[in-house]
Structure 1
């Protein structure tokens, strides 16, 4: 399981949620990091990733084929909602929302993650 990253063969969350975040996360704000050209303004305080505000959804940062092989093209500069969405919880159990979304594209449930061993 070491090195296992279920997100690299899934990507369904990038086509399911509107990925909205505080406007100052975009790189046109001091200290911002999300490429502004990949966002759209929602209101005076929020932006979202292009492609995630309409149905069908597909985040503008997603590359590849969902359910087969995907990658985030701005992984190091992805917005807070993407950074904070847990695939696994602290106790190693999979996020049930991941399993629910994975099932919609025919992927199996996630295995439990092994907990790190104490030194």
Structure 2
């Protein structure tokens, strides 16, 4: 499974970043989708995923062991920062920050995606 999606064998972004986002993305706001009970208030405009605002960090929605097998328990309802952090950039080159995080737990850098053709 991790061969198809390198994130499924990593999860380092979920234990490295504070996952903060606009408060109205939570499902207690009209049109929101992130489960509010898994978030905490940062300020008047922002929330974050529980577990990502303290060190050591670990998003409460992360299941599994980073570097082995992980998945997001709210993947379809994950907040914008999670949707916008790609393993690969638009040109198919691995995201340097992703590779940096992978290296912290001994995972090899990602190989560039084959050119679309």
* Alignment TM-score, normalising by the size of structure 1: 0.94
Within 2, Cα distance between the matches of 1:116 and 1:62?
A: 31
Q: Tell me the residue number matched to 2:8.
A: 8
Within 1, Cα distance between the matches of 2:114 and 2:32?
A: 35
Q: Tell me the residue number matched to 1:64.
A: 64
Q: Tell me the residue number matched to 1:41.
A: 41
- Matched position secondary structure for 2:82: helix
Structure 2: where are the runs of 5+ without partners?
Answer: none
Say how many residue pairs are matched.
115
The alpha-carbon deviation at position 115 of structure 1 amounts to 2.8
Superposition pairs of residues 101-116 of structure 1, within 5 angstroms: 101-116=101-116
Q: Tell me the residue number matched to 2:54.
A: 54
Q: Tell me the residue number matched to 1:21.
A: 21
Structure 2 residue 94 is the aligned partner of structure 1 residue 94? yes
Residue-by-residue CA offset, 1:2-50 (whole Å, 9 max, x unaligned): x720000000000000000000000000000000000000001000000
Within 2, Cα distance between the matches of 1:69 and 1:19?
A: 20
Structure 1: where are the runs of 5+ without partners?
Answer: none
- Matched position secondary structure for 2:90: coil
* Alignment TM-score, normalising by the size of structure 2: 0.96
Alpha carbon RMSD of aligned pairs, Å? 0.8
